[in-house]
Chain A
């Protein structure tokens, strides 16, 4: 008698109910798919200017860096001022909702910043921001 009950118990244990685990895994999967934003990083680290009123840029998708020597970095490559527009158009097409964040070094000149902003305007990027850090 005891034997048989032990046997049925074991039978029950052999089949684990996977449904709750599957639910959790699927929810995690969907979360990570939805939050996955493939940000194109600029490729260099610059000394960002300080600002108290900075805001988190939630939908940043394209990062463009301007080095102290006024080189423009897009997608880990130095880009000539004339090619910035084409590069931005290409990246903008990949993620049309994403905005552009310009990481301008403190020592970089306004001239280069204007080149990038003008290119962004021509490429049709709706939002442009200048990167800043806390004091």
Chain B
């Protein structure tokens, strides 16, 4: 008898859960994640490093070798290449040897601008397999 009296009103109470505290927590979490959401847009060029053992074995002749000298001159096949002529040159070499990847040998003091120029030209020529010799 005592039990019945006790259970009935508490059962009634539980039928309506108070959602307000949960809503508070959820809203605070929502605001936190909205504020911390940083949509950083970073565009760039992928650097392909020869990790796979097969790519290490590639002989030098199959690759298109581009050299960047200390004074940012770009040399292919012992010829000085103008940055604007890079793309046609790489295209021609790529057509001769479609399997080959572009290997860039840059001097330690050369600027990264010329490196990105060469990488961009190679990608424009359709060679996405670019590695940087270290």
Contact = CB atoms under 8 A, between A and B. Distances in A.
Interface residues of A, number: 50
A111 B109 CA distance: 6
Nearest to A54: B43
B44 A54 contact: yes
B62 interface: no
Interface string B94-134: 00000000000011111111011101100110000000101
A56 to B, nearest CB: 5
Interface in A86-117: 101-111, 113-114, 117
A55 B44 contact: yes
B116 A53 contact: no
Interface stretch (B7-15, B33-41, B53-61, B73-81): B33-41
Contact of A117 (B23, B40, B132): B132
Main secondary structure of the interface of A (DSSP, over half): mixed
Interface of A: 18, 22, 25-26, 28-29, 32-33, 35-39, 41, 49-57, 60, 63, 66, 101-111, 113-114, 117-118, 121, 127-134
Nearest to B120: A51
Contact of B108 (A41, A66, A110, A133): A110
Taking residues whose C-beta sits less than 8 angstroms from the other chain, chain B's interface range is 35 or more
A32 B124 contact: no
Q: Which of A18, A36, A53 has the most CB of B within 10 A?
A: A53
Given A32-B37, A51-B119, A108-B112, A133 B43 contact: yes
**Closest A-B pairs by Cβ, 4 of them:** A32-B33, A49-B116, A53-B123, A106-B113
B36 A57 contact: no
16 contacts: A25-B23, A25-B30, A32-B30, A38-B36, A39-B40, A49-B112, A49-B116, A51-B123, A103-B42, A110-B68, A113-B115, A114-B132, A117-B134, A130-B44, A131-B42, A134-B43
A129 B111 contact: no
Contacts of B38: 37-39
